[in-house]
Amino acid sequence: MKVSKRFKSVKEKVDFKKDFSLEEAVKKLKEVTNVKFTESLDCAIRLGVDPRHADQMVRGTVSLPNGTGKEVKVLVVAKGAKVQEALDAGADYAGFEEYLEKIKGGWTDIDVIVATPDVMADLGKLGRILGPKGLMPNPKSGTVTMDVTQAVKEVKAGKIEFRVDKTGIINTSLGKLSFTEDKLVENVKAFLTTIIKMKPSSAKGQYVKSLYLTTTMGPGLKISRDEVAIIK
C-alpha cells in the first residue's frame, strides 16, 4: 500500500512503540494534525466481553461534559402537543405520519431520533431502515420517552450513544481537535468512567483490553494500561 507524503510526515513525529497517557496522546494528536479541516478525536476501546451473550452486551449513553463539537440533527416522532414541545426544545424536525412516510421513502438525513412510547409500534415497522443506521430509538438510551424536552436538550448538549460490536470493540467520537487539550481529556475520562462502571458481572478476566485515541485522518496512539487503571 502506498503511503502518502502527508502520513509519512506524521509517522516521523510519532513513536508508535510508546504507550501514552491521555494528556500526552491528545497533545500529540493536536500537534501532528495536517489536514485542511477540523478532525474529530476518536476512541477505540476493546473490551473483554462476549457480545453474543445478552448479559455481556455493553451499551449505553454518556453526556460529554464539553459536547461533541458537531451539530446534531434531531427528529422527534410524536403526536399532538408533543410535536410543538419538541420544536420548542430545539428539535430540527418533529411530527408523526409525515416523517414515517419520509423514512419509508429512504430519508435518513438525521443523527438521532427521539420518540414517545405511543408511536413505537408504528416506528418499529421501519426497523429494517433505521436499525442498520443506528437510528432506532431505545428506552435504554433515553430516546424513547415522554419527556421530549429533556431528551432533545441532552442530545443537543453532547449526549452520545455507544454499543459494543460483535468483536468486542466500541468506536466513538469524543469531540473536535479544535477543543482545548483539557476539554478533550475531560470528554475521554467521562466516556471511560461510564464504560468501566458498566462492566458486566459475568465478564471474566481483563475488562479493558486496549484503548486507542486517534483522529479522523491521523495515527492511532495506544493508551497505557496504568492510565486506564486509575479511571474510576
- What is the per-residue pLDDT across 65-118, written as a single tens digit (0 to 9) for each? 999 998 899 999 999 999 999 999 999 999 999 999 999 999 999 999 999 999
Co-location of 91 and 45 in the same domain = no
Comparing 204 with 4, which gets the higher pLDDT?
204
pLDDT at 8: 67
Nine cell digits for residue 39:
478532525
- Let me know if residue 4 belongs to a domain: no
pLDDT at 230: 75
Q: pTM, whole model, 2 decimals? A: 0.81
- Let me know if residue 165 belongs to a domain: yes
pLDDT at 134: 86
- Let me know if residue 1 belongs to a domain: no
Domain boundary residue, one of 106, 123, 157: 157
Domain boundary residue, one of 104, 124, 157: 157
Comparing 218 with 20, which gets the higher pLDDT?
20
- In total, how many domains does the chain have? 2
How confident is residue 167, by pLDDT bands cut at 50, 70 and 90? Answer: very high
Comparing 193 with 34, which gets the higher pLDDT?
193
User: What are residue 38's phi and psi, to 5 degrees?
Assistant: -80, 115
Strands 93-95 and 74-77: parallel
Range of the domain at 62: 15-67+160-229
Co-location of 78 and 137 in the same domain = yes
CA gap 215, 226 in Å, rounded:
22
Strands 74-77 and 208-215: unpaired
pLDDT at 203 over 80: yes
Instruction: Look over the chain and give the mean of its residue pLDDT values, rounded to a whole number.
Output: 91
Co-location of 143 and 165 in the same domain = no
- Let me know if residue 8 belongs to a domain: no
- What is the per-residue pLDDT across 113-132, written as a single tens digit (0 to 9) for each? 999 999 999 999 999 999 88
CATH at 198 = 3.30.190.20
Domain boundary residue, one of 105, 139, 157: 157
CA gap 128, 42 in Å, rounded:
28
Q: Give exposure, 187-220, as e/b (b: 16+ Cβ within 10 Å).
A: bbbbbbebbbebebeebeeebbeebbbbbeebbe
Co-location of 135 and 173 in the same domain = no
pLDDT at 2: 60
Co-location of 141 and 186 in the same domain = no
Co-location of 164 and 58 in the same domain = yes
